[in-house]
Amino acid sequence: MNRINPLHIIAFIVVLSMFFTFKISQSKDELQELKLEYKKTLSVATKIDEFKKSYKNKNLVKKRLNKILNNSILRKSEIKKEVKNSKIILIASEIDKASLNYLMSKLLNKTFNITKLDIKKIDTQKASLKLEIKW
Amino acid sequence: MLKFFTSLKKRIRLFSKFNKHIDTIFLDTICDNFHTDNSVNIILSPSLYWIKKIILPVKSAKEAKPLLASIFEDTLPDGAYSYSVYKNDDDFLAFAYEDKKILELLEQKGIKQTQINNIYFSQNEFSDITKAMKINETQSIFVKDGIVVLLPCCWIKEHGYLNLDSINLSKKYINIRQYSHLVDEKSLYMITILSVIFTIFVASEYFISIQNISNLTDKKDEIFQKYSLKPTMMQNNAMLKGYEKINKQQTNLRVDIASVLSLNLPSEVKLTLLKSTNKKLIVHFNSVDKNSQLKIKQQLKKKNLIFSSNLKNGILEMEFRL
């Protein structure tokens, strides 16, 4: 006698396929969720990375700043540079108009995290400067 | 698929033979109920099948099997029949039987489907009897022209009694299918094959999906490593929020300074102080009168800047929130 009825096997297969169908719908939901999570993580990661490079990269900040300060226009202004653990302070007791324009245009056009700025007019041609950049 | 089922069935049968005692019973519509819990080999009475002795232009039973339905077509009453055929010297013995009818009769007589071991035709088991054998009070079986037939007892004077205990059963048994009246064997296997294909498809889809999840999880972990992220997204979101705040302040600082420096000031008005600290930008202009203050304020308002201003002793103090 045919003890294993083909219909029982069909029923078993149908149950099995229902099980897999259910698992597929679960895993597809999970996959969809994971895809969104992945995109979000990637977006957060790239943004953080960009911000880190822009504002938090100590070496890059120093390198870019030195490049600006080494320009011949600024040499005569005697800008003092104080480097601390997480910041750099630029001080110039007297800076002429052209140097100040050059310095500020360079600093403001790059992504420095300028936390303090103090420019006081001394006379029509000169000003004092104190500027703090953090990383 | 068919071979797989057959092989599986044989293995199960072999296994059950070693583990159970098997009784042999003779099944007829007129017989007492059976009282046994053992597995049973069933010999079908001629009343439960149709038989034809035929000569066919084929060599084997396998070749003959597809022809059986048409051979019995005009003979059988309406019903769902299964067919079986065995080669017998130069001719063939073709059988037709109703699975459902046999199963229902077995159930009536107290035999569960799980007890059934094999089912045999009387034709194959009793073809060598030399005299009539009584099967119940009213009927006997008898071989006439090589065919086992069922006869009323009163037709034959001399008869013996069936002894099923010492019978050596042939290897010619049949498989009864429970739903043969609903769906034929070919369709059943076709459905099985399609179901298996569908299941394989669904299962592979599932495993692909699982693999994708695993790959994506790995990629996500790689992002954490590559960008040196904090262990939780809550920490990373907080970090991003902090950076965005810095970025916003720095952008506002630049926009505000650019706006102040691009002001169209009266010739006597000069910018004397530009100070940024603690989330605000302070700007001082000197030599400012009410009229000049108004002009400066109007220009800044046009640029949608938020600020406060205070004119004191000709010095206009302006404060921009970053």
Using a CB-CB cut-off of 8 Å, the residues of chain B touching A2 are: 5, 9, 175-177
Q: Which residue has the higher pLDDT, B309 or B155?
A: B309
For residue B45, is it within any domain? yes
Q: Are residues A67 and A130 in the same domain?
A: yes
The string of DSSP letters for B18-77 reads: HHS-EEEEEE-SS-PPP---SEEEEEEPGGGEEEEEE--S-SSHHHHGGGHHHHHTTTSP
In this predicted structure, what is the pLDDT of residue B168? 87
* Domain of residue B49, residue span: 21-180
Q: Is residue B249 part of a domain?
A: yes
Residues 6 or more apart from B73 whose CB is under 8 A from it? none
Is A45 found in the same domain as A83? no
Instruction: State the nearest Cα–Cα gap between B128 and chain A, in angstroms.
Output: 25
Q: B106 and B44, same structural domain?
A: yes
Q: Which residues of A touch B254 (CB under 8 A)?
A: 108
B14 CB within 8 Å of a chain A CB? no
Which domain CATH number covers A124? 3.30.70
Are B218 and B270 in the same domain?
no
Does A117 touch chain B if contact means CB atoms closer than 8 Å?
yes
Q: Tell whether B3 is covered by a domain.
A: no
Q: What is the pLDDT along chain A (135 residues), one digit of tens a residue?
A: 445 666 778 888 889 889 988 999 999 999 999 999 999 999 999 999 999 988 888 999 999 999 999 999 988 888 999 999 899 999 999 999 999 999 999 999 998 999 999 999 999 899 999 999 998
A34 and A52: one domain?
yes
For residues B62 and B101, membership in a common domain is answered with yes
Q: Tell me which residue of B173, B10, B187, B2 sits closest to B102, measured CA to CA.
A: B173
B189 neighbors B165 (Cβ within 8 angstroms): no
Question: Nearest C-alpha of chain B: how many angstroms from A98?
Answer: 15
If asked whether residues B199 and B273 sit together in one domain, one would say no
- Please tell me whether residues B166 and B262 are part of one structural domain: no
The answer to whether residues B223 and B291 belong to one domain is no
Closest Cβ–Cβ partner in B116, B206, B274 for A119:
B274
Alpha helices (H) along B147-232: 185-226
Domain that holds residue A44: 1-56
Give the integer Cα–Cα distance in Å for B288 and B290.
Answer: 7
Establish if B280 touches chain A: CB-CB under 8 angstroms: no
CATH code, domain carrying B265: 3.30.1360
Q: How many domains does chain A have?
A: 2
Do the domain assignments include residue B68? yes
Q: Quote the pLDDT of residue B11.
A: 53
For the segment B18-47, the average pLDDT, to the nearest whole number, is 86
Q: Do residues A62 and A125 share a domain?
A: yes
What does the pLDDT look like over B215-258, one tens digit per residue?
999 999 999 999 999 999 999 999 999 999 999 999 999 999 99
Regarding pTM above 0.80, the answer is no
Which H, E and C letters describe chain A, residue by residue?
A: CCCCCHHHHHHHHHHHHHHHHHHHHHHHHHHHHHHHHHHHHHHHHHHHHHHHHHHHCHHHHHHHHHHHHCCHHHHCCCCEEEECCCEEEEEEEEEEHHHHHHHHHHHHCCCCEEEEEEEEECCCCEEEEEEEEEC
Q: Do residues B252 and B218 both lie within one domain?
A: no
Which residues lie across from B27 on neighbouring strands?
B44
Task: State which of B180, B201, B218 marks the end of a domain.
Answer: B180
- Yes or no: say if B141 and B129 are a contact pair by the CB < 8 Å rule: yes
Same domain, B254 and B111: no
Measured in residues, chain B has a length of 322
Contact A116, A130 (CB under 8 A): yes
Q: Residue for token digits 């650019």?
A: B258
Number of domains within chain B: 3
Domain boundary among A35, A56, A77: A56
Task: Please tell me the distance from the alpha carbon of residue B274 to that of residue B157, in angstroms, as a whole number.
Answer: 136
